[in-house]
Amino acid sequence: MRLLTHIKLPTLAVLGGLIFAPLGSVVAQEAKPIADANAVTLQQLLDQVRQGRVKDNAQFDKREADFRNNRNQQKAVLTRTQNSIKREEARSERLEKIFSENELKLAELEGLLNERLGVFGELFGIVRQVAGETKAQIDESIISGELKGRSARLGDLAKSKGLPAMSELEYLWFTLQQEMTAQGEVKRFMGDVVNLDGSLRQSEILRVGPFTALAGDDFVRYAGAHRFADLGRQPPARFGDAADDLADAQTGDRVAAPVDPSRGAILNLFLQLPNLSERIAQGGIVGYIILVLGAFGIALALERITRLSLTARAVKSQLSAGDAGQEITGDTPLSRVWAAYASYKGKDMETLELKLDDAILKEMPALEKHLSLLKLLSGVAPLMGLLGTVTGMILTFQAITLFGTGDPKLMAGGISQALITTVLGLVVAIPILLLHTVAATRSREIVQVLEEQAAGMMAAHAERT
């Protein structure tokens, strides 16, 4: 009798070969042949699990066999590596032993060498020292721009620990003699010159011993590697003029030539000195104001002196040509005073004196025009210089407060402004004051002539009356 033979089971889940089903009624069903790959009944599912287990067992056996085979191979590799390590350790011990023996033998041989050398050891040490010093001097010498490839063998000799060969000693002596001979020569040759933009050019170099080198009319410095380099700025004009004379000189001529005994150090110091424009720029805004005032004052003074000189010349020409009694010509202060006398010579003495004084007073403003301004500018310029001095010292003390006195360059800007503005104030005030004096003298000369003429005309009028 069958019980519940066609009850449909809920979906089963297979995990790791185990079958799980939700709570409920489970009834075995008759076993049927497996019709397809998908299990429909428990029997089919069981058959599939059995087949998969057999297949997994076969794979596991294969993996285990492969692992055992690999284990044997790895063991063989390990054995070979251990044997190799042992061989290398033994070899290292043998080499260490040989190294120690060689060190002892080397020490014995060096001692024997020093014993046999005696005083020659000190001599060869001096040779190596001289070779090193000579190499350093040649590397920095201007002469190396002409004579190339001298320092390589000297460097090898200086680093050599063995006995120098006779050829090396001869080369050292020859190089020293060559350097001494070249130091007394003034020679021209073609050399490489590095431009300021980094490019290279070929130029004729005029070398004055080991001291000075010229490319054309310009000074150049030795930059190493058998090359010269242009200077960022040429030294003062007096050195440039001497360089021109040297460049234009012919063989056998005797000329005054610029020579830097420090081999470039003094020349570099000259290049660091500020020129006129840089000096003025150190004065700051106060310095530029002083220069503007000075230019204005000098221009005004020159205009006054020129105009007063022309007026004085015209007055002197008029004096030499005639007097107040003759016909009055020209447009000068004297002619206008004479005209005033001619207009009022029939009046009484007091009236004529007043009219002549009035005519002279009318000429005074034109003759003394801008003289007071010139005097003012000659006094303002030193005061502006003093203002710049105080401002520069304030900047200096601010730098000291912030950075201390460890680096004098930090204070140089304020000190430069203080000194330059003082100098500019005096440089402007002195010529303006001198020009003011000249202009005032010219003006007084003309006024004195007018007063003399007025007094003479009044005297003549008094005699007639």
Q: Is 397 in the same domain as 251?
A: no
pTM: 0.53
Cβ atoms of residues 200 and 194 within 8 Å: yes
Cβ atoms of residues 189 and 146 within 8 Å: yes
Cβ atoms of residues 270 and 239 within 8 Å: yes
pLDDT in tens, 387-408: 888 888 887 777 777 777 666 6
- Quote the pLDDT of residue 164: 79
pLDDT in tens, 273-312: 777 777 888 888 888 999 999 999 999 999 999 999 888 8
pLDDT(440) > 70: yes
Instruction: For residue 97, give its domain range.
Output: 1-111
Q: Is 288 in the same domain as 391?
A: yes
pLDDT in tens, 1-55: 333 333 333 333 333 333 333 333 333 344 344 444 555 677 777 777 777 776 7
Q: Is 199 in the same domain as 291?
A: no
pLDDT in tens, 209-246: 888 888 877 888 888 888 888 887 777 777 777 777 77
Considering its fold, how many domains does the chain have in total? 4
End-of-domain residue from the set 273, 306, 333: 273
Q: Is 127 in the same domain as 238?
A: no
Q: Is 134 in the same domain as 204?
A: no
End-of-domain residue from the set 96, 111, 126: 111
Q: Is 101 in the same domain as 128?
A: no
Nearest to 172 by CA among 160, 186, 187: 160
Q: Is 310 in the same domain as 445?
A: yes
Cβ atoms of residues 242 and 257 within 8 Å: yes
Q: Is 322 in the same domain as 365?
A: yes
Q: Is 387 in the same domain as 425?
A: yes
- Quote the pLDDT of residue 295: 94
- Quote the pLDDT of residue 439: 92
- Quote the pLDDT of residue 323: 56
Q: Is 336 in the same domain as 450?
A: yes
Max Cα–Cα distance, the chain, nearest Å: 191
For the record, the structure tokens of 154 come out as 């000297």
Q: Is 412 in the same domain as 451?
A: yes
- Quote the pLDDT of residue 426: 92
Buried b (16+ CB within 10 A) or exposed e, 1-33: eeeeeeeebeeeeeeeeeeeeeeeeeeebeeee
- Quote the pLDDT of residue 406: 66
Q: Is 454 in the same domain as 336?
A: yes
End-of-domain residue from the set 141, 162, 183: 183
- Quote the pLDDT of residue 11: 39
pLDDT in tens, 170-189: 888 898 888 888 888 888 88
